[in-house]
Chains A and B, each alone.
Chain A
Amino acid sequence: MKIICRCQDVTEDEIIAAIRQGATTIDEIRRLVRAGMGSCQGRTCRRLVAQIISRELKTPPAEIYPPTFRPPNRPVAFELIMSELKRQELEDGEKK
């Protein structure tokens, strides 16, 4: 058993099963078996997933439809956003 997505404990067999159901992209595999849905958002596994797709479907890696990248870059706590908003508010107050 080979773990491909370490955040979500997704094995190679699960990824191959998703490909057998018709998945041909990294995004579809993420949605079906959660590979790349964890804290690192696929930073580690997305290349490995692409390699598996390429091998299983015999497509060159360059032809695999690219995944969507979304914010945030690292996990961000609500309290951090709230303190940033407070800081901006104070800064705006000082300007006035």
Chain B
Amino acid sequence: MNRAFDAVIIGGGILGVATAYELARAGMKNVCVLERHYLASGSTGRCGGGFRQQWSTEANTELAMDSVKRLEVLEEELGYRTEFFQGGYLILAHNEEEEKQFAKNVAMQRKLGLDVSIVDADEAVKIVPYLNKEMIRKATWCPKDGHINPFLLTQGYANAARRLGVQINLWTNVVGIMKKSDTFFVMTETGNTYQTPLLFNCAGGFSRSIGQMLNVEIPVDPYRHEILVTEPVERLWDPMVISFSVGLYARQEKSGGMVMGMGDPNEPVGTFVGSSMKFMYEMAQRFTMLFPKLDKLRIVRQWAGLYEMTADAQPILGPVEEVDNFIQASGFSGHGLMLAPAVSQILADMVVNKSRSEVVESLNVKRLYNMKDVVKEKSVV
């Protein structure tokens, strides 16, 4: 079996698979993805599936807007149905502080050309019925945000990548990496060695460990993030609804189930993804507070995945100083699925066509070493 490649990508989540596809599409012949379990078995396949362009930093907003443009044509390009649906995102402001921050966000987003507006409580309830109107001061609304099925998007990218000659090796766990002159030697648990001049770290919650194999510090901390789904019910609303201060997001799947998750500020750093009773209790309280009339919905499953957080909640992109041709695409802080379509394309363009991208340069890992020019993303659940 040939184990020499023009590029090797570690991680078979959305970032790894989309990057492989974009590299092949940009003309790279011999690309390989190494995934330790199956496709989207990590954070990608456990996420809420939303994509939004409403962010507080310009870098995230630009990447997200590029991603949505990409998603709008992707089903046709990949020849695969992904449940892509622009049902919008409604983000709730409950207090004066949020109202002020959101006004700032919307001004910045509109400057970048995003179709987003501030709506009052009455309008918000028209967009998302059953909301507890008393709790809402204002909301921001972008009709071109939406949600997508993460498994199908990953599989669609993977199928298309394979058609372009990409090799995707599942159940292949990377345990060590060496670099001699210009060649990376990537060693797997089963004793195989892959050789490549170009290596991508798309390992999500495990990207710090991959960096350590080459003595490169990738400051990404994984945190468990829990989520649940209810039994299918008739269509209640189209958008993803988010509240940062209640700390939850909720959307309705194509099949009718309500998917909802929340952030827990007390969650310790770690890669444990088991379920907790505490989450079920907490989620029930938060959801019924915001949607008192929907307390008869029945939970069928809860699960958990990792938010791979950076200090500013923005991704780590591009090369590192210590090791040439070791490209990072990690630390998406819970938003990898929605940024992947743009990021994968920009990174592929960068390595194949030597193009430059200001956004990628601004998100280099360097910023997190000295914490200079770091602007923290505030719009995170």
Contact = CB atoms under 8 A, between A and B. Distances in A.
A32 interface: yes
A11 interface: no
A39 interface: yes
B345 to A, nearest CB: 24
B284 A82 contact: yes
A78 B159 contact: no
Interface of chain A, helix or strand or loop or mixed?
loop
B60 interface: no
B296 A28 contact: no
Contacts of A39: 231, 300
B40 interface: yes
Chain A CB within 10 Å, residue with most, of B38, B277, B285: B38
B56 to A, nearest CB: 31
B255 A70 contact: no
B173 interface: no
A7 B258 CA distance: 16
Contacts of A28: 38-39
Contacts of A77: 295-299
Contact of A71 (B38, B280, B287, B288): B280
A25 B38 contact: yes
Contact of B275 (A23, A31, A71, A85): A71
A49 to B, nearest CB: 15
A11 to B, nearest CB: 16
Contact of B284 (A23, A32, A70, A81): A81
B352 interface: no
A7 to B, nearest CB: 9
Contacts of A85: 281, 284-285
B302 A71 contact: yes
Nearest to A88: B281
A72 B277 CA distance: 9
B295 A82 contact: yes
Nearest to A84: B281
B298 A81 contact: no
Contacts of B284: 78, 81-82, 85
Nearest 9 pairs between A and B by C-beta? Answer: A75-B298, A81-B284, A31-B151, A79-B295, A78-B295, A78-B284, A77-B298, A75-B300, A76-B299
15 contacts: A21-B155, A37-B301, A71-B277, A71-B280, A71-B302, A75-B231, A75-B298, A77-B297, A77-B298, A77-B299, A78-B288, A78-B294, A78-B299, A81-B280, A85-B284
